[in-house]
Amino acid sequence: SQHTGTFPLTESQREIWLAAQMGGEAAVAYNESLRLEFRGPFDAEVFRTALHRVVERHPILFATFSPDGQSQTIAAGRALDIPEIDFSSKPEREQRELVAAIVDKEVSTPFDLTAGPLLRVKILQLSREYFVVTWTAHHIVCDGWSTGLLINELASVYSALSSGTDVHLEEPLPFREYAMEIYANSSGAREAI
């Protein structure tokens, strides 16, 4: 399928891959982390379903990278584990500390580029009508612009599933297709302008 298979890194991915090899601060500098707050009725199962649908549309989030940084592989049929942690029985101050600690850990925990997945999502329940979702992705597969796109898709799919309506999202350009096009253009003979 055009969504799966093994293909080269783009130039910007290669730069990020090289920086990530340095370890330490450099390895986590590319963690893109968001904290999403939901106040009011929130259905964690519907949210999980919505997230799975969005992730299925963007399999680059399941890319793994060869140890030498020469290629990336997208395998079909991988699923994202989305743990839910219930802090609703804790006092508010402790909840704030626990959430802050999880957010800090997400930002400072490196991703394994050779094993993946390069997205981590946790659902934190603080009360019956207050949830915090942490979303952390590696910049090598998800920059700030694409994160915004994914969150918008997630909101649309979650709203549609919650209200029992259909959502029609445009077919995304598979990253593999985009990477192959860039690779062909950069390695092919360039005509002088």
Reported as a single tens digit per residue, the pLDDT across 97-146 is 999 999 999 999 999 999 999 999 999 999 999 999 999 999 999 988 88
Record the pTM: 0.86
Geometric angle at alpha carbon 105, from 109 and 98, rounded to 5°: 165
Write out pLDDT tens, residues 147-156: 988 999 999 9
Q: What is the pLDDT at residue 181?
A: 57
